[in-house]
Structure 1
Amino acid sequence: MKINIVGKNVSVTQGIQDKIKKKLSGLNKYVIIDENDVCNVLIRTYPTKQKIEVTIPTKFAILRAEVVDTDLYNAIDKVIDKLEDQIRRQKTRLERKHRDSLAENLLNDEFDQEEEIEVKTKSIVPTEMDLEEAIMKMELLGHDFFIYIDDETKKVAVVYKRTMGGYGLIETE
């Protein structure tokens, strides 16, 4: 992720830049942020307070938070906490949506053998990643499975949600 830090009425020191970059890099454990994504950080100072605004556009959503505090370093910590809360809420929302749609499909079992089945075709280019990252992407997309190239074996693999809970992995030979 590229980070643009802009200061209004304040000079952005190396210490401030290092703190912001360190804190923002910690968000990678919650959500996959593409290295091409540009994170914009705006720091403003007023006579008695400091304001920090962070915007991170991702494939899945735009993460945005702003905090006003008397101390800039406290404001940085608080804005990261807000972003982490947003990510957790989005993940919970995606998980609920997935569970609700599955339950609805089970209750509305109106499948008629006479009807034509519509088949949707989609082409993908799998990217190389580890299993944890593939599971996270699958959850964020709200899919039941995810196709990727395993970073250890360099072969196509499929991770999927098991109906009894947990995940399954299909590896190719």
Structure 2
Amino acid sequence: MEIVITGRHTEVKQKFRDVVESKMNRVTAIAPDAQRIQVVLTHEGNPRQADSAKRVELTMLAGKTVVRAEASSADEFSALDMALDKLTQRLRRARDRRKDHRRGLDHAPQPMDFPPVENEVEVKGDFENPDNSAQTAVASDLEPGQSVEVQVGDTPIVIRRKLHIAEPMSIDEALYEMELIGHDFFLFVNKETGRPSVVYRRHGWSYGVFEIDTPENVNKTVKNGK
């Protein structure tokens, strides 16, 4: 399994790299088909957030499944352990899901694009000036997998924009992907309607779905229905 380790606003020390590599057997034991894992270590410079100054993000490609997990702590090693716990838990869910497929249940998720690290782009600037280079970067076209990270003026606010390429999927597949990446929402293209849609967690086992369309398309659909 390929292991890619990068730092964001921090230098990744060799000791952390060694620890990451030594702990990856936890992942391969559950997902022997794992092809690649991307580890991103981020440092939060705000002293008020010292208890969560280090954030570790894990993104793993295993067969056709992308699994994500992240955690924050006062030090990178604790954050790594917590993120790994979340990742292995989600991997077990994916393994159980594959067992269900063998029993004849068809819920196979679509693969997501796994962007290489070298496509990461960081840009800083002020959003209030429309002619600023940062504003231009955010408004410009992106290549698949490329990202732009922009800091808003002198504030600590950072906005990250990224382009993903994904095949249309059903609502059930979108819910499954949302569980694997550990988010409370998941953006996808509904293969039944062709509309950009979002599934989101409400409370308990209750979920919601938003679909987005333009008035022109809705009117066309209504007219064609008539």
Q: CA RMSD in A?
A: 1.7
Which residue number corresponds to residue 57 of structure 2? 53
SS in structure 2 at match of 1:73: helix
For residue 73 of structure 2, what is the aligned residue in structure 1?
69
CA pair 38-96 structure 1, distance change in 2 beyond 3 A: closer
One-letter amino acid matched to 1:6: T
Aligned-pair distance for 1:97? 4.0
- CA–CA distance in 2 between the matches of 1:58 and 1:93? 13
Q: Which runs of 5+ in 2 are unaligned?
A: 106-226
Matches within 5 A, 1:87-126: 87-99=91-103, 101=105
| 2:41–2:57 Cα contact (<8 Å) kept | yes
- Counterpart secondary structure, 1:43: strand
Cα distance in 1 for partners of 2:11, 2:33 equals 27
**1:100, distance to aligned residue in structure 2 (A):** 5.8
Counterpart in the other structure of 1:38: 36
Task: Give me the whole-angstrom Cα distance separating, in 1, the residues matched to 2:31 and 2:89.
Answer: 12
One-letter code of the match for 1:21?
E
Separation in structure 2 between the aligned mates of residue 33 and residue 56 of structure 1, nearest angstrom: 11
- SS of residue matched to 2:11: coil
Greater relative contact order (Cα < 8 A, sep 6+): 1
Does residue 11 of the first structure (1) align with residue 15 of the second (2)?
A: no
What is the rounded CA distance, in whole Å, between the counterparts of 1:10 and 1:30 in structure 2?
Answer: 30
SS at match of 2:33: coil
CA distance in 2, matches of 1:58, 1:91: 11
Task: Answer whether contact 2:31 2:62 (CA < 8 A) is retained.
Answer: no
Cα-to-partner distance string for 1:81-140 (whole Å, 9 max, x where unaligned): 111101111122222343364xxxxxxxxxxxxxxxxxxxxxxxxxxxxxxxxxxxxxxx
Say which one has the larger Rg.
Answer: 1
Query: Which amino acid in the other structure matches residue 92 of structure 1?
Result: D
Sequence identity (%): 24
Equivalent residue for 2:82? 78
Unaligned runs of 5+ in 1: 102-173
- Shift of residue 32, structure 1, vs aligned partner: 1.4
